Chains A and B, each alone.
Chain A
Amino acid sequence: MLEIRNLHAGISGKNILQGINLKVNTGEVHAIMGPNGSGKSTLSQVLAGRESYEVTEGEILYQGHDLLDMAPEDRAREGIFMAFQYPVEIPGVNNTYFLKAALNAVRKHRGEPELDAMDFLKLVRAKLKVMEMDESLINRSVNEGFSGGEKKRNEIFHMAVLDPKLAILDETDSGLDIDALKSVAKGVNTLRSPERAMIVITHYQRLLNYIVPDFVHVLSGGKIVKSGGKELALDLEAKGYGWLEEPVSAAR
């Protein structure tokens, strides 16, 4: 589904990613872990199409197409969803209105009929129930005045409605207490499916107790320095990132 080949990218002339290689197949959940400054955010921003990030080398193929050639909205319409680390507050834009516009943009792209207000409301109610979310959240402005946990849950709720093929969760766990974390993870787990791939980007192993990945990759110094199964995350928890970083810097 997604293949990243020798990706080099950065921002404001600073090189951050130094040759990432990663292959994600349909149905798989990949966790990408790494310390601060390892390039986790850069990777997620490049995948979502943030224009301020510059790709200097390498390529990304998504369903056989050149992802880097696609505008952010086209990536979304082709089934890529990013849950933001810092969801943006948009005063004056109603959460439901926004989501309906987004869903209909996706449906139109797929050649499906747009949903009218009634059908959309039915869908939203069903998803709210699955996400165990309060209906009041959807009648407010997008993320405005939401708590940290509410913002993250709203992201997962958007994901549930938009039904993506590839979901990227960018530090969805940071800043959450354990109850909020469990609730977000529960939401994510209901969306796991053989038809959907997920990339879970996180600093902490804690999240992976609740969203159990098929593969774990460790990002350090802009490269994937180690890949393995879910047990790799536990090693990292026990030993920290230090033992992985040293050989990389020594190799320079």
Chain B
Amino acid sequence: MIETIQETENYISSFTSLEKSRASNDPAWLNELRRSALDSFLRLGFPTTHDEEWRFTNVAPITKVPFELAADAKDPSSAELMRFTFGIWSGIQLVFVNGTYSTALSSNRTQPNGVFVGSLAEALEKQADRVQPHLARYASVSEEPFAALNTAFVSDGAFVYLTKGCVVEEPIHLLFLSHGEKTGPKVCHPRVLVLAEANSQAQILESHASLGSGVSFTNSVTELVAEENAFVDHYKLQRESLEAFHISTVQVQLGRSANVSTQSISLGGSLVRNHVNAVFGGEGGEATLNGFYLVNGRQHVDNHTSIDHAKPHCNSHELYKGILDGKARGVFNGRIIVRPDAQKTDSKQTNKNLILSEEALVNTNPQLEIYADDVKCTHGATIGQLDSDAIFYLRSRGIDLESARHLLTYAFAGDFINRLKIEPLRLALETSLFARLAEGQEER
């Protein structure tokens, strides 16, 4: 218990100062939301490996560090920024530095009618009637300590609002940059709320990256609400530094006949845990939860997904692929719940892992809970090395061993990468993969 107090001490004092500075400006409901989220967090405490859901992921390296809440920081230079914006981003782009919206770096001046893509802080002030009914209504504050912790500090982030029938042609980029701090380790709690009303459509790329090296902790929560017949593709690209801790929650709520895909890509971070949860709140919905992780050294990436088939006639597809080298560790847990009246559910889950070294390790665990009888649910998991027959076949045609390994590794990733609809993202991921393969070659 004493240990728990030490672990949470810094968070409590950060909360107290945040409350002091914000309480008089913010509406009562928001102060109340933060306060009750902090209470939940303190009640739940940080998870340990004794918790079933955290059996393979030990967050002690995070809880041991006395993180302080990241304050406003200097904006990066435009050259620095370019490293994370895929050249010049043609659509709407919001940039956050240490969790705070940067007006100067963002480009969202011209927005189609019926669309608001901007800072959550601004929205909380000017459009509280839109934000309040949805903020923190989906991600579980009462049961998930990290979602609770994020909510206790909710102040800025991104708000994406698509009015009925509105279609955003160009992908929206939400870029979260965190400074590796010279003045001590910092934490930020980025928050994203996407509200897609009936028949609206958009593609949203949420990316997380580090400016410089140094220990940092990102604890993000994204809530995505797709109302009737809305069509949203969400991508989360995590390429923080190798010293970064990253814990995230993507919570998707689907209305009747809504169609949402969310792709989670993990390249950086030393200790990474992603929660992606989808709940079907109406009939006829379709959810795609895909993921990709490319890890090396001592990186640890844990993907916990959950799909709640609460309504009949919904489809879900899930494909998570991982490439692990060095002493990297991967965890996949895919929970699918089919509720008693969710008849005609069609759900397919696949997790495939490619291990490139002797010491990399993967734990994969499908978790199907089916309470309806007229459903189709399949799942499959593989953990394997490169196929020696295929390597020999390629070599016997004149391709050298390293190239054969690269080609097959690339091919393994291909069926994830080729599904990415945002071209700059696809190209960036290919580049990362080739760079990583070249590094691996030098090490060998």
Contact = CB atoms under 8 A, between A and B. Distances in A.
Interface in B104-156: none
Contacts of B411: 90-93, 141
Interface in A73-108: 73, 75-77, 81-82, 84, 87-88, 90-93, 98-99, 101-103, 105-106
A72 B395 contact: yes
A90 B393 contact: yes
A101 B394 CA distance: 10
Interface string B385-420: 001011011111111110100011011101100000
Given A88-B387, A90-B408, A49 B396 contact: yes
B398 A162 contact: yes
B395 A76 contact: yes
Contacts of A206: none
Given A72-B392, A90-B393, A98-B407, A105 B387 contact: no
A60 to B, nearest CB: 16
Contacts of B408: 90, 93
A73 B393 contact: no
A109 interface: yes
Interface residues of A, number: 30
Size bracket of the B interface: 20 to 34
Given A72-B392, A90-B393, A105 B415 contact: no
A141 B400 CA distance: 19
Given A87-B393, A88-B387, A88-B390, A105 B398 contact: yes
A96 to B, nearest CB: 13
A81 B395 CA distance: 11
- Find the residue from B394, B400, B415 having the highest chain A CB count within 10 A: B394
B415 A76 contact: no
B319 to A, nearest CB: 13
Contacts of B398: 73, 76-77, 102-103, 105-106, 109, 162
A71 B415 contact: no
A93 B397 contact: no
A23 interface: no
A48 interface: yes
Nearest to A48: B396
Given A91-B415, A93-B411, A71 B397 contact: no
17 contacts: A48-B392, A49-B396, A51-B392, A71-B395, A75-B396, A76-B397, A76-B398, A77-B398, A84-B396, A87-B393, A90-B393, A92-B410, A92-B415, A98-B407, A103-B398, A105-B399, A105-B403
Given A71-B395, A90-B394, 14 more contacts: A48-B396, A49-B395, A71-B401, A72-B395, A76-B397, A76-B398, A77-B398, A84-B393, A91-B411, A99-B397, A102-B394, A103-B398, A105-B398, A105-B403
Interface of A: 48-51, 71-73, 75-77, 81-82, 84, 87-88, 90-93, 98-99, 101-103, 105-106, 109, 141, 158, 162
Interface of B: 387, 389-390, 392-401, 403, 407-408, 410-412, 414-415
